[in-house]
């Protein structure tokens, strides 16, 4: 058997863990560079939630009567949840775009970890989502939102929202690789995510909804996320009637279970899909 050309460059020593971390960092770096070089992505993912905060506060705020701190405080958890759920869509369209551009083909001919590419992808979205959370919080505080809980609870609330969006990013990354078209991902996710976020307790208390919608809202994981965030931020209006469904009674547990289930299913699915995908 022959040996390779003597001048071929050899890898520096490392084990699969250090290589995975290094590959994960390099692909995360690449996605962060994209955020820096194409600022429109960040700009538009920030404008929408800010617009929602302002529109809902001033248009619906007067019409919807919420006891306690009023509508703005009630609304914020809903907007946070909606934004991070929609933010995960980016994982899908960016994955589809990378596939189209052939950069995934390049990665797949390199001796790197395929899982690291996906980690880099979802990490990049976590950064975008974190930034939009910060901007939304600033906007919220300006229009009268107040956190009525301990710093620890507040951080737990933020963590839960980001965790949920992270899990959703993996779902979207899988869809992006399956559909292979950034446009379809954007349009299709709009059709799914709009009802998912609106038929929930995000913008109006779900107890007032007609029965079929109310049942849907009570079982909707987005409702659980919103309810958890409201509890952790101390924004639950006094006298709120909590639905009887288990998720409505145990929102934080529901979110944690939901996140685990999504990750357990979609992380391996994504890795398997990635291993055979090509432009």
The residues binding other proteins (CB under 8 A) are 1-2, 4-5, 7-9, 11-12, 14, 19, 22-23, 26, 30, 33-34, 37-38, 101-103, 105-112, 276, 278-279
Residues 6+ apart with CB under 8 A from 104: 98, 117, 274, 277, 278, 279
Q: State the nearest-atom distance from the C-beta of 123 to other proteins, in Å.
A: 16
Q: State the nearest-atom distance from the C-beta of 26 to other proteins, in Å.
A: 5
Q: State the nearest-atom distance from the C-beta of 277 to other proteins, in Å.
A: 9
Q: State the nearest-atom distance from the C-beta of 224 to other proteins, in Å.
A: 36
Give the nearer residue to other proteins in terms of CB position, either 114 or 243. Answer: 114
Residues 6+ apart with CB under 8 A from 82: 49, 52, 197, 202, 222
Give the nearer residue to other proteins in terms of CB position, either 73 or 113. Answer: 113
Residues 6+ apart with CB under 8 A from 258: 164, 167, 221, 224
CA-to-CA distance for 63 and 71, rounded, in angstroms?
9
Give the nearer residue to other proteins in terms of CB position, either 108 or 214. Answer: 108
CA-to-CA distance for 229 and 235, rounded, in angstroms?
8
Q: State the nearest-atom distance from the C-beta of 30 to other proteins, in Å.
A: 6
Give the nearer residue to other proteins in terms of CB position, either 40 or 65. Answer: 40
Give the nearer residue to other proteins in terms of CB position, either 99 or 158. Answer: 99
Q: State the nearest-atom distance from the C-beta of 182 to other proteins, in Å.
A: 13
How many CB atoms neighbour CB 225 within 10 A? Answer: 33
In the numeric block, which tokens belong to residue 136?
């939304």
Give the nearer residue to other proteins in terms of CB position, either 12 or 63. Answer: 12
CA-to-CA distance for 129 and 109, rounded, in angstroms?
31
CA-to-CA distance for 156 and 255, rounded, in angstroms?
12
Helix/strand/coil percentages in the chain, nearest 5: 75, 0, 25
Q: How is residue 206 annotated by DSSP?
A: G
Give the nearer residue to other proteins in terms of CB position, either 178 or 249. Answer: 178
Q: State the nearest-atom distance from the C-beta of 1 to other proteins, in Å.
A: 5
């Amino acid at each position: 058997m022959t040996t390779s050309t003597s001048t071929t460059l050899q890898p520096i020593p490392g084990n699969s863990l250090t290589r995975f971390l290094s590959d994960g960092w390099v692909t995360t770096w690449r996605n962060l560079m994209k955020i820096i070089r194409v600022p429109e992505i960040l700009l538009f993912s920030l404008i929408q939630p800010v617009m929602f905060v302002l529109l809902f506060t001033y248009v619906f705020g007067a019409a919807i009567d919420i006891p306690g701190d009023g509508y703005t405080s009630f609304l914020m958890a809903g907007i946070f949840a909606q934004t991070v759920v929609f933010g995960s869509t980016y994982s899908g369209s960016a994955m589809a775009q990378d596939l189209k551009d052939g950069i995934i083909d390049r990665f797949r001919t390199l001796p790197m970890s395929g899982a690291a590419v996906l980690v880099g992808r979802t990490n990049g979205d976590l950064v975008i989502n974190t930034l939009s959370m910060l901007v939304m919080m600033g906007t919220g505080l300006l229009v009268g939102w107040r956190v009525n809980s301990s710093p620890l609870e507040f951080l737990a609330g933020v963590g839960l929202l980001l965790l949920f969006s992270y899990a959703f990013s993996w779902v979207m990354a899988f869809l992006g690789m399956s559909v292979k078209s950034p446009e379809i991902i954007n349009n299709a996710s709009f059709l799914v995510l709009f009802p998912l976020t609106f038929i929930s307790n995000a913008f109006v208390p779900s107890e007032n909804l007609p029965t079929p919608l109310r049942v849907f809202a009570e079982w909707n994981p987005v409702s659980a996320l919103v309810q958890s965030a409201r509890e952790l931020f101390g924004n639950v209006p006094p006298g709120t009637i909590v639905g009887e469904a288990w998720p409505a009674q145990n929102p934080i547990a529901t979110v944690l279970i939901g996140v685990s289930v999504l990750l357990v299913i979609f992380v391996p699915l994504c890795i398997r899909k990635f291993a055979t995908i090509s432009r």
